[in-house]
Amino acid sequence: AQSVTQPDIHITVSEGASLELRCNYSYGATPYLFWYVQSPGQGLQLLLKYFSGDTLVQGIKGFEAEFKRSQSSFNLRKPSVHWSDAAEYFCAVGALSGGGADGLTFGKGTHLIIQP
């Protein structure tokens, strides 16, 4: 069965500092990987996705992620965080169709706190 592990429940970063959020996955087939962000009381917004091709993918709001098959990882990075980046971040893995019969499998999320 597929699974996603986000090892950091909380991360605190100073405004302007760089950020890396970790994600490890277990999936029996070719993984299709996503990062979503959720602000309090809001739905999920897609930051970026990896389906195939270049393993470094660019997303919205200055985020990027790198797919490393050998490490089963898909870590999210941002060179300089802004106070508005404070939110909950979820990594997810899915089937070829981006969902399908298994839907997406999500990690438990990482809560990002930005210090002034």
Partner 1 sequence: DTGVSQDPRHKITKRGQNVTFRCDPISEHNRLYWYRQTLGQGPEFLTYFQNEAQLEKSRLLSDRFSAERPKGSFSTLEIQRTEQGDSAMYLCAGQTGTSEQFFGPGTRLTVL
CA dist 60 and 16 (Å) reads: 17
Q: Which is nearer to partner 1, 42 or 84 (CB)?
A: 42
Residues in the site for partner 1, rule: CB under 8 A? 4, 34, 36, 42-46, 49, 90, 92, 96-109
Residue nearer to partner 1 on the CB measure, 34 or 63: 34
Q: How far is the CB of 60 from partner 1 (least distance, A)?
A: 12
The helices-and-strands tally (H runs, E runs) of the chain is: 0, 12
Residue 108 Cα distances to 54, 57, 62, 84, angstroms: 27, 22, 23, 21
CB of 88 to partner 1, least distance (A): 9
Contact 33, 75 (CB under 8 A): no
Choice between 49 and 77, CB closer to partner 1? 49
In the complex, the smallest distance separating the C-beta of residue 40 from partner 1, rounded to whole angstroms, is 11
